[in-house]
Structure 1
Amino acid sequence: MDKNVQFMPISKLAGKYPEGSWWAKFYGDFGEDQLVAYYGEDLTLTSLNLDWEQPFPEQKEVLLIMVDGNFTVEHLYNKETDGAIGLIVNGNLNAKNITVGGQEILVSGNAMVEGVLCGSYNHGEMIVKGNLEAAVLVQDDEYKINVGGRKTIPCIINVWEGDGVCQELPITIQEVLIDEVLDIDEGEIEFSFCTLVNVIAEGRSPLKNVNDPLAVKKPDSVYFTHNTINEENILKLTQCILMEKNKPAFQFVEQGVFFKAQVKHVDADGEERDLSVYMKDSRHHYYIWVESDHSVGLLRRTVEEGSEWESITGESQEPLAELGACWTMLLTCVNMAELYLRNIEVKFVQDIFQHPDIEELAYEEEEEDGLWDGSKYYTFRKAYVDEDGDSRPARIEIKTLDEAYYFYTLDNDTYVARHYQPPDVCDLQDMSLLNLRRWEASEQYFTRFKEFMAEKIG
């Protein structure tokens, strides 16, 4: 037994219970023989079992442990989730693994979990008033985790559905946890909380190597096979997936660079426009066009007001280095668009919105009716005109396990546009065409959505 521990009636520490804690509200309900194990300074332990059957530290009357400093423990756990010894840490909590349930665990500072954080059943709650960091959260949708500061958990697993998200990509439970903590029977996989506790109590890690790079789509072919600035590649730009039907140009911004590609046409003012590409970075405007003899002309001017265009056709090295970097970025972005945007058919999404079951769920704004697959939420927004007279296209929204959103929008007849909204952010964002992981995530989430819809509505 640690010599620094003091045993005292729960009511004696009335002034030390953090505001909002269960103990601050109900300490007066306990008698003199119901104890708290109190540490008045920092505490370091190899392991701590919070089960009643093995009360800590060797006092059966202890209902609560309070550490009035920082608490460092390798393994914190208990098996009985109907009730267990409570824990209050008035400083920071640092642990290798935490697998608990049946009690309130309150940390006034920050909590950092090197490996697994698992809370089971609805009789328990973890409150972190500061920041929470954990490598993997294993959750069952009933255990509450409330965080006052920033929450950083790159991998979350839902034990009921057996799926999750890791580094933004969808993942299955068997890709994260060792087989020992899973009951696998004829393809059915069930999570064993008690086995997870046993593994942690033995000082072993229940994790597979979740830091390995995750597999992403490997293209069968690449749209642009070389990055030469020539008529062939400019024509391919104007024929790519980003060029909407019946439009002479497309444009986008990537990493602060503006891009526009257009076919040869006469604009609304009667002006003839070249087959061309326009780019603007933080220093220069660039204009690339195709001459009648199929050669390519290059112009550049600075972003300063009043600057004039200068020809850089035939120049080499320094004048073309920045142009070349922008041009390569443009081709890379279009390669990404070709790789992903063709995989969701406009007609498929249109058909979804025309299904009677979905028409009943499709609202304009604020409504929250949708479909739940056990870990992800699907919402359907029909097209409408907002109060300012602006048209808002129909879209499908997927809310993921980590509370991010992926949006799939019918704003043109050529492809389904995609957007992203990070957790704890209110506004959707354009998806960077260079963010391979996010595009792959949007692809995988939609594939799972299609599988779910096939079962739900046929």
Structure 2
Amino acid sequence: MKNVFQFIPINKLADKFPENSWWASHYTDFSENDLVAYYEGDLKLPFLDLDWDIPFPQQDNVIIIFIDGHLTVDHLYNAETDGAIGLMVIGNLTAKNIAVGGQEIYVHGHLTVEDILCGSYNHGETIVNGHLQANVLVQDDEYRFNVHGQKSLQCIVNIWHGDGVFQELPIRIQDVLIDEVFYDMDDDEEEIEFSFVTLVSILKEGRSALTNLQEIPHIKKATHVYFTDHHIDVENILKLTKCILMTGDKPYFDLEEHGVHFTVQRAHIDDDGDKTNDSIYMKTSQYHYFIWLNEDQTVSLLRKSFDEGDEWWDITDLPQEHLVDIQDHWIMLLTCVNVATLYVPKIEVQYVERILQHPEIQGLDEDDDGFWDGSKYYSFRQAYTDEDGDFIHARIEIKTPDEAYYFYSLENPSYVSRHYQPPNHFGRHEIAFLNTRRWEASEQYFERFKQFMSQNFKIDILAE
């Protein structure tokens, strides 16, 4: 590497260290023999090795590299994670791969990594004042990534636990990294260990350590569906009123999808003693629609605009080209119920009840409210009545490796309600029925939770 750096005693750069960096507080702990490799301007390198035993160009006493500008590097790494040369970039840091540990990596701007960003062991931290964007983040439990801006990570995997998340779905670390970076433990083929040193060696050779993430297989559901056609007819209306979402405690259910509100109501006697027929109400951005099952088992279609004073109009006999809008919304409703039928029954109410009644769960308090499996956090809320007299339902919460939350609540007598909270947001959201990837993720995370509880409590608490 060509020597284009100035080598300056560390105390001479005290005024350039950002306030929230480790060096701003501790530069006085070093002598004038401890040097900073200082570069003014933007720098592009094919690689940068931060190991102590690789003297930074022609100097043995360099303890930190200071780039007073932007740094672009193909591969940034060090193999020894007990301690290594520090790096401070006042601009943006752009790299193809980064595998580090044992020092502070400080980026005043944004950090962008094309392939792998790996932090190992507990003797290091990466601080990013701007945004972090990386294809794959590989981390153990101890290494810290402190990002002040937004994080955009396609895939996160955890070294210690061996799993992570890819495009919202749980994933194994073996599906992300090539076999070469793993080795068997004590001839046990089922237990493997990740080799950080091997990862660094691969990067030194300029090779990729990633598998083809796009080819990772996902679980495929059975092809059976609840609705086999999309006709607006008596059979499908009755199937709607008997589907999984129609619970026994009330004669209707609501859902909202793509800005359209639906209410499906089964025939019943209302509070005034009047009989109400099976019906479906739709509210779009332009109209109210009403699909009504008459006493003679014929179907009526009604429409009303949002104009003040407008009345319901019978559109049953309109030509098909005038009914495209209501038919599109009807198909969307049937599709939502098909998805609900496929996923909702997979987590049974009695399973969640049994978990929440387990003595270990019942014994949790505010200071010890859950369990950590190495990459996911499981916490629990028992049912209670709040200060306003409102009943708060019991639920299980799962915090995922990308800091999203999945909630499993006992809000209905017939099925477990599922909700989702995106990373860096507050407040749970309904899981859209057309977002099958999120339904799949919620199911897979719950399966991992059941495995964790069974293994750690030495009893299958989900058994009948």
Match for residue 200 of structure 1 among 175, 194, 203: 203
Q: Which residues in structure 2 correspond to 1:428-443 (within 5 Å)?
A: 428-443=428-443
What's 1:183 paired with? 183
What's 1:234 paired with? 237
The answer to whether the 8 A contact 1:49-1:55 is kept is no
Q: CA deviation at 1:305?
A: 2.6
Match for residue 288 of structure 1 among 283, 286, 291: 291
Within 1, Cα distance between the matches of 2:249 and 2:31?
80
| 1:138 pairs with 2:141 | no
Structure 1 residues 410 and 313: alpha-carbon distance in aligned structure 2, compared to 1, 3 A threshold: same
Q: Which residues in structure 2 correspond to 1:260-299 (within 5 Å)?
A: 260-299=263-302
What's 2:246 paired with? 243
* One-letter amino acid matched to 1:257: V
The answer to whether the 8 A contact 1:216-1:437 is kept is no
What's 1:165 paired with? 165
What's 1:222 paired with? 225
What's 2:462 paired with? none
Q: Which residues in structure 2 correspond to 1:341-420 (within 5 Å)?
A: 341-361=344-364, 369-420=369-420
Q: CA deviation at 1:220?
A: 3.9
Q: SS at the partner of 1:118?
A: strand
| 1:338 pairs with 2:341 | yes
Q: CA deviation at 1:360?
A: 1.1
The answer to whether the 8 A contact 2:199-2:209 is kept is yes
Within 2, Cα distance between the matches of 1:103 and 1:351?
46
Alpha-carbon deviations, 1:367-407, whole Å to 9, x = none? Answer: 65112222211111111111111111110111111111100
Q: CA deviation at 1:164?
A: 0.8
Q: SS at the partner of 1:419?
A: strand
What's 2:36 paired with? 36
Q: CA deviation at 1:214?
A: 5.0
| 1:88 pairs with 2:88 | yes
The answer to whether the 8 A contact 2:372-2:378 is kept is yes
Q: SS at the partner of 2:323?
A: helix
Alpha-carbon deviations, 1:44-100, whole Å to 9, x = none? Answer: 000000001112223111111111000000000000111111100000000000000
Percent identical: 59
Q: What residue ranges of structure 1 are gaps of 5+ in the alignment?
A: none
Q: Which moved more, 1:274-283 or 1:292-301?
A: 292-301
The answer to whether the 8 A contact 1:217-1:440 is kept is no
* One-letter amino acid matched to 1:419: H
Q: CA deviation at 1:294?
A: 2.0
The answer to whether the 8 A contact 2:385-2:391 is kept is yes
* One-letter amino acid matched to 2:307: E
Q: SS at the partner of 2:453?
A: helix
Within 2, Cα distance between the matches of 1:29 and 1:382?
51
Within 2, Cα distance between the matches of 1:228 and 1:367?
55
Alpha-carbon deviations, 1:178-234, whole Å to 9, x = none? Answer: 000011342111100000000111111111112346514322411111111101111
Q: SS at the partner of 2:137?
A: strand
* One-letter amino acid matched to 2:331: T
TM-score computed with the length of structure 1 as normaliser: 0.97
* One-letter amino acid matched to 1:369: D
Q: Which moved more, 1:290-299 or 1:102-111?
A: 290-299
Q: SS at the partner of 2:56?
A: coil
Q: Which residues in structure 2 correspond to 1:49-64 (within 5 Å)?
A: 49-64=49-64
Q: CA deviation at 1:359?
A: 1.2
Within 1, Cα distance between the matches of 2:162 and 2:191?
10
Q: Which moved more, 1:171-180 or 1:373-382?
A: 373-382
Alpha-carbon deviations, 1:253-283, whole Å to 9, x = none? Answer: 1121110111111111222211111111110
The answer to whether the 8 A contact 2:403-2:423 is kept is yes
Within 1, Cα distance between the matches of 2:326 and 2:223?
29
| Root-mean-square deviation over aligned CA pairs | 1.4
Q: What residue ranges of structure 2 are gaps of 5+ in the alignment?
A: 460-464
Match for residue 330 of structure 2 among 327, 337, 344: 327
The answer to whether the 8 A contact 1:83-1:103 is kept is yes
Structure 1 residues 86 and 396: alpha-carbon distance in aligned structure 2, compared to 1, 3 A threshold: same
Within 2, Cα distance between the matches of 1:53 and 1:196?
18
Alpha-carbon deviations, 1:296-335, whole Å to 9, x = none? Answer: 1100011223211111102234421110111111011101
| 1:67 pairs with 2:48 | no
Within 1, Cα distance between the matches of 2:41 and 2:434?
49
What's 2:105 paired with? 105
Within 2, Cα distance between the matches of 1:354 and 1:31?
61
Within 1, Cα distance between the matches of 2:58 and 2:15?
25
Within 2, Cα distance between the matches of 1:59 and 1:414?
71
Q: SS at the partner of 2:48?
A: strand
The answer to whether the 8 A contact 2:175-2:216 is kept is no
| 1:252 pairs with 2:251 | no
Q: Which moved more, 1:301-310 or 1:73-82?
A: 301-310
Structure 1 residues 368 and 220: alpha-carbon distance in aligned structure 2, compared to 1, 3 A threshold: farther
